[in-house]
Amino acid sequence: MTETQKKFRRRAEARPDEVLNAALAVFVEKGYAAAKVDEVARRAGVSKGTVYLYFPSKEALIEGIVRRAVAPIALRAVPDLETFEGDPRLPITMLLTVLIQQLARPEASAVPRLVIREVMSFPFIANFYRNEVLGKVMPALIRLIERGVETGQLRPVDPELTVRSIIGPLLAHVALGELFGITPAKGLELERFLANHLDILFHGISAQPEEA
Amino acid sequence: MTETQKKFRRRAEARPDEVLNAALAVFVEKGYAAAKVDEVARRAGVSKGTVYLYFPSKEALIEGIVRRAVAPIALRAVPDLETFEGDPRLPITMLLTVLIQQLARPEASAVPRLVIREVMSFPFIANFYRNEVLGKVMPALIRLIERGVETGQLRPVDPELTVRSIIGPLLAHVALGELFGITPAKGLELERFLANHLDILFHGISAQPEEA
Amino acid sequence: MTETQKKFRRRAEARPDEVLNAALAVFVEKGYAAAKVDEVARRAGVSKGTVYLYFPSKEALIEGIVRRAVAPIALRAVPDLETFEGDPRLPITMLLTVLIQQLARPEASAVPRLVIREVMSFPFIANFYRNEVLGKVMPALIRLIERGVETGQLRPVDPELTVRSIIGPLLAHVALGELFGITPAKGLELERFLANHLDILFHGISAQPEEA
Amino acid sequence: MTETQKKFRRRAEARPDEVLNAALAVFVEKGYAAAKVDEVARRAGVSKGTVYLYFPSKEALIEGIVRRAVAPIALRAVPDLETFEGDPRLPITMLLTVLIQQLARPEASAVPRLVIREVMSFPFIANFYRNEVLGKVMPALIRLIERGVETGQLRPVDPELTVRSIIGPLLAHVALGELFGITPAKGLELERFLANHLDILFHGISAQPEEA
DNA sequence: GATGAATGAGGGTTCATTCAT
DNA sequence: GATGAATGAACCCTCATTCAT
């Protein structure tokens, strides 16, 4: 097999992935319904027929996108969250740090944005995300908080509900910026936001120091 | 003018509103692009032609919906937020209580949901919401926090960023429930969620008693 | 009956005529198919319903226009043409003079233009114009030429075909100006055109002086 | 390349032309506004979608028709008219002979008929025809007459206006026949008409023979 | 495998016509 | 008589999907 052949083979194998990348870009930009298969093909550098060679329908594209992203960065943190033994504030800090870094990268945040945008139209997405992503990250987080409460490091908060207090401000920050173009004035927003959020969060959930 | 005439006149005057109600329902259910004007008309109990009698295009429907909702419940709270003098935690509690009650009512939460869903496709919506809603509520909240920090009732948090800690958990709670069907197990969710959120938030932002 | 009442009555009686005037204007401007009944009503200063009060359909409007114009200026010339005894060049000059004056007035030329424009779409128009207008003017002209040939004032031309040489240049002049905006450079076009046309025409059809 | 492939390729390349042919037929028959794209497609033997594959809109069809006919038979005569040196009556005879032969063929006269019919609704047509057809044929004719006057072969007529006397009778003949179904009784109309027209025209514009 | 010409169902929009007032 | 809100059939155009090459 010559080099050329190998390159071609490699390309051929990468085709579905390239199509999904193009579809993701178009769907995020225009919304699924307004996106055209023609444009997906054009951006993927293939013909319209080729898209249908790999995916049976336009809907299969969005399903493929969501499935392929099954293991987002966040998921890799699950084992860490599950097995962590010490102060729960440390993994929470790490999780939020990773999340916010990812959300700052358009390629990485594209799938979550697509999911939020189209989840109402595709029950499959809600099920899949609930089962594969949220259903795994959230229980890990909940158990982390439970352990924190049990060990007395955290005040007796409701672990299930407290998850919302951990990720919610991040969600609000991203939504304000991405959807409405509302960003804080001073710059360095991400770091400053994260510091302020964690400051409030940890003051809010940490048990009082004994001497207080 | 007879009773009959009055009734008909009344109906005629209410038409645009009825059409917008129907459009809102369909848009929230299917998304703007997938919604059919035919179905909007059917739900409004009129013919397709009547929709175009009052609105020049399908896009004008979504614009009409957003404009009509200019004065959402939240906005009415702005004056209260602006003029409030005492402990800032009281108006924050009231605001979140009102918000969460509204979001629990599908009719009241439909517009915000539509806005979030379609804001990327209609720059007009982002501008309008930024100018008319967020641009008014957020500054009021920010000043409230600023005053709390100045009077020493709150710790020296960043007011602009802290807004995200106040509304974010609410956003996360609604998103998890509405988009992914993820609700806490025990029931009474809204009250319990709000209590947990305020508990953490106020522990997080209040100045320590002994320092105060 | 008061003056006011009389005036109103007069107006009411004039309604159909005003509607036809409006319809004529709109039809000439946009073409029948692209004209909207709404605009006809607006220009007539009545409601759309009123148009249908006097005319059963949009097509009835064009029929009404053509019928009302049955007695165009040209027709009034027919008796003169029929009974004229002397040199045929005189009535031809008069006919063309009247025609060209009328065609220069937009109100007067509107019906002929509408007829030419829509005659292919409405067989009724072709029949009606052939029977009521052309069928009367042309035979009169033909007989005039016949008499001229018989009396030796005109060369032995074919009367039926010579009609085309009389009115054709006028048609071409109007078409070039109205349809394509092509007008001769020097101004005074109508008079100069008519003079040139008659000069050529009469040199073309008159018997040679010495022969006569 | 096999025969089959060639045939298909040929067909594919001919598609736009076939669509324009069908559109021309339908437009001439019904008028642009009343013509349906569906019927154009049906007559072209393709689906509605295919029409839009080659032409972006219904209006583009009429533009395509007019552009394609840029080089009508008449235009090919322009060089001859321009360079002709001898008796101007010869090229005029030839031009009118060619024109009348073309106008007698429905396929050849379809575009001029469409142009006359729709020129008021599509300013583009007026501009295009003025620039590309009339703007070239008429000056050539005018110069021909000018030269005839200068050489003394023609009487001192106005060249610009005399053009109307040359083509006008032809226009009238066609209009009477095509639009109103009015044809001379005896048959052989075209030849007889042309003979009569030229007889009158040349008597009308020729300088008197010396002996007369 | 890859292409892109062709399809045709479906949706947004228009507008002649009707009819309750 | 007069109105104009309401209707709905019909039209232009789009685009997901197919299939001959």
When CB atoms are compared, the residue of A158, A179, A197 closest to B192 is A158
Q: Is C171 exposed, middle or buried (0-12, 13-18, 19+ CB in 10 A)?
A: buried
Whose tokens are 């809907």? That residue is A59
pLDDT(C6) > 70 = no
Window B:82-121, CB contacts with A under 8 Å: 116-121
Answer whether C126's CB lies under 8 Å from C119's CB.
Answer: yes
> Of chain B residues 12-41, which have a beta carbon within 7 Å of strand F?
12, 15
pLDDT(B1) > 70 = no
To test the contact with chain C by mutation, choose from D109, D127, D171 the residue with the greatest count of C C-beta atoms within 10 A, namely: D171
Distance, in Å, from the CA atom of A137 to the CA atom of A130, rounded to the nearest integer, reads 10
Computed from CA positions of residues D102, D106, D111, D113, in that sequence, does the dihedral angle turn out positive or negative? positive
Rg (CA), chain D: 21
Confidence of residue C4 (pLDDT cuts 50, 70, 90): very low
Average pLDDT over residues A77-105: 86
**pLDDT number for residue B138:** 92
Concatenate the DSSP letters of all residues of chain C into one string: --HHHHHHHHHHHHHHHHHHHHHHHHHHHH-TTT--HHHHHHHHTS-HHHHHHH-SSHHHHHHHHHHHTTS-HHHHHHHHHHH--S-THHHHHHHHHHHHHHHHSHHHHHHHHHHHHHTTT-HHHHHHHIIIIIHHHHHHHHHHHHHHHHTTSB-S--HHHHHHHHHHHHHHHHHHHHHH----TTS-HHHHHHHHHHHHHHHHHBPPTTT-
What tokens appear for B106 in the block?
């599908």
Average pLDDT over residues B73-77: 64
- In what helix (H) or strand (E) does residue A14 lie, and over which residues does it extend? helix A3-30
> Of chain D residues 14-53, which have a beta carbon within 7 Å of strand E?
15, 46-50, 52-53
> In this structure, what are the phi and psi dihedrals at residue D154, rounded to the nearest 5 degrees?
-115, 155
Cβ-defined contact of D171 to C167 (cutoff 8 Å): no
pLDDT(B25) > 90 = yes
The superfamily CATH assigns to domain A70-205 is: Tetracycline Repressor, domain 2 (1.10.357.10)
Distance, in Å, from the CA atom of A56 to the CA atom of A58, rounded to the nearest integer, reads 7
What tokens appear for D124 in the block?
């583009």
> Of chain A residues 10-69, which have a beta carbon within 7 Å of strand E?
12, 15, 46-50, 52-53
> In this structure, what are the phi and psi dihedrals at residue C55, rounded to the nearest 5 degrees?
-130, 130
Concatenate the DSSP letters of all residues of chain D into one string: --HHHHHHHHHHHHHHHHHHHHHHHHHHHH-TTT--HHHHHHHHTS-HHHHHHH-SSHHHHHHHHHHHTTS-HHHHHHHHHHH--S-THHHHHHHHHHHHHHHHSHHHHHHHHHHHHHTTT-HHHHHHHIIIIIHHHHHHHHHHHHHHHHTTSB-S--HHHHHHHHHHHHHHHHHHHHHH----TTS-HHHHHHHHHHHHHHHHHBPPPTT-
Looking at residue A154, what DSSP letter applies?
A: B
When CB atoms are compared, the residue of C116, C176, C181 closest to D179 is C116
Name the residue type at position C120: M
* pLDDT tens-digit readout, A129-149: 898 888 888 999 999 999 999
CA C122 to C1' E15 (Å) is: 20
Q: What 3-state DSSP class applies to B206?
A: strand
**pLDDT number for residue B167:** 96
Neighbouring-strand partners of residue A206: A154
Q: Is A39 exposed, middle or buried (0-12, 13-18, 19+ CB in 10 A)?
A: middle
**pLDDT number for residue D4:** 39
Window B:35-54, CB contacts with A under 8 Å: none
Q: Is C123 exposed, middle or buried (0-12, 13-18, 19+ CB in 10 A)?
A: exposed
Between C82 and A151, where is the model more confident? Answer: A151
C-alpha angle B35-B37-B41 in degrees, rounded to nearest 5: 120
Average pLDDT over residues C19-39: 94
Is the CB of residue D42 inside 7 Å of nucleic acid strand F? no
pLDDT(B71) > 70 = no
Rg (CA), chain A: 21
Neighbouring-strand partners of residue C206: C154
Cα-based torsion angle of the residue sequence C118, C122, C128, C130 in order, rounded to the nearest 10 degrees = 70
Answer whether C122's CB lies under 8 Å from D30's CB.
Answer: no
**pLDDT number for residue A3:** 46
Q: Which of D174, D155, D36 is nearest to D110 (CA)?
A: D174
**pLDDT number for residue B74:** 57
Between A125 and A11, where is the model more confident? Answer: A125
Question: pLDDT below 70 — which residues of chain D?
Answer: 1-12, 71-75, 209-212
pLDDT(A43) > 70 = yes
Whose tokens are 């439909």? That residue is B110
Distance, in Å, from the CA atom of B82 to the CA atom of B78, rounded to the nearest integer, reads 6
Confidence of residue C5 (pLDDT cuts 50, 70, 90): very low
Name the residue type at position B138: M
What tokens appear for C193 in the block?
């055109």
Answer whether D3's CB lies under 8 Å from D11's CB.
Answer: no
Answer whether B50's CB lies under 8 Å from B71's CB.
Answer: no
Distance, in Å, from the CA atom of D45 to the CA atom of D14, rounded to the nearest integer, reads 12
Looking at residue B186, what DSSP letter applies?
A: T
Nucleotide nearest to A37 (CA to C1'): F16
Average pLDDT over residues B93-106: 88
Q: Is A180 exposed, middle or buried (0-12, 13-18, 19+ CB in 10 A)?
A: buried
Lowest mean pLDDT among A158-162, A187-191, D2-6, D74-78: D2-6
> Is D in contact with B (3 or more beta carbon pairs below 8 Å)?
no
Distance, in Å, from the CA atom of A71 to the CA atom of A79, rounded to the nearest integer, reads 12
Q: Which residue of chain D comes nearest to C164, CA vs CA?
A: D169
**pLDDT number for residue C60:** 96
The superfamily CATH assigns to domain D71-205 is: Tetracycline Repressor, domain 2 (1.10.357.10)
Q: Which residue of chain B comes nearest to A142, CA vs CA?
A: B184
Is the CB of residue C36 inside 7 Å of nucleic acid strand E? yes
**pLDDT number for residue B12:** 57
Answer whether C168's CB lies under 8 Å from C174's CB.
Answer: no
Distance, in Å, from the CA atom of D181 to the CA atom of B31, rounded to the nearest integer, reads 58
Confidence of residue C73 (pLDDT cuts 50, 70, 90): low
Q: Which of C156, C174, C172, C153 is nearest to C164 (CA)?
A: C172
Distance, in Å, from the CA atom of A93 to the CA atom of A77, rounded to the nearest integer, reads 12
- Which bin fits C155, alpha (ψ -120 to 50), beta or left (φ > 0)? beta
Average pLDDT over residues C158-178: 95
Q: Which of A161-170, C27-36, C87-96, C107-116 has the highest mean pLDDT?
A: A161-170
Distance, in Å, from the CA atom of A7 to the CA atom of D81, rounded to the nearest integer, reads 65
Is the CB of residue B46 inside 7 Å of nucleic acid strand F? yes
Distance, in Å, from the CA atom of A35 to the CA atom of A114, rounded to the nearest integer, reads 12
Average pLDDT over residues C80-103: 88
For residue B181, the chain A residues in CB contact (below 8 A) are: 126, 130
pLDDT(C104) > 60 = yes
Domain ranges of chain B: 3-67, 70-205
Concatenate the DSSP letters of all residues of B24-48 into one string: HHHHHHH-TTT--HHHHHHHHTS-H
Name the residue type at position C192: R
Percent of chain C with pLDDT over 70: 89
Looking at residue B84, what DSSP letter applies?
A: -
The CATH number that domain C3-67 falls under is 1.10.10.60
Distance, in Å, from the CA atom of B79 to the CA atom of B71, rounded to the nearest integer, reads 13
Distance, in Å, from the CA atom of D23 to the CA atom of D55, rounded to the nearest integer, reads 11
Between D42 and B132, where is the model more confident? Answer: D42
**pLDDT number for residue B124:** 92
Name the residue type at position B173: H
The CA distances from residue C23 to B123, C16, C26, C73, C154, in Å, are 42, 10, 5, 21, 44
Distance, in Å, from the CA atom of D95 to the CA atom of D90, rounded to the nearest integer, reads 9
Confidence of residue A208 (pLDDT cuts 50, 70, 90): confident
The CA distances from residue B174 to B103, B110, B134, B169, B170, in Å, are 8, 12, 18, 9, 6
Confidence of residue A14 (pLDDT cuts 50, 70, 90): confident
Q: What is the mean pLDDT of chain B?
A: 87
- In what helix (H) or strand (E) does residue B54 lie, and over which residues does it extend? helix B48-54
User: What angle, 0 to 180 degrees and rounded to 10, lies between the N-to-C axes of helices C106-118 and C89-104?
Assistant: 90
Interface check C208 vs D, CB under 8 A: yes
pLDDT(A1) > 70 = no
Neighbouring-strand partners of residue A154: A206
CA C159, chain centre distance (Å): 21
Q: Which of D44, D29, D66 is nearest to D54 (CA)?
A: D44
pLDDT(C212) > 70 = no
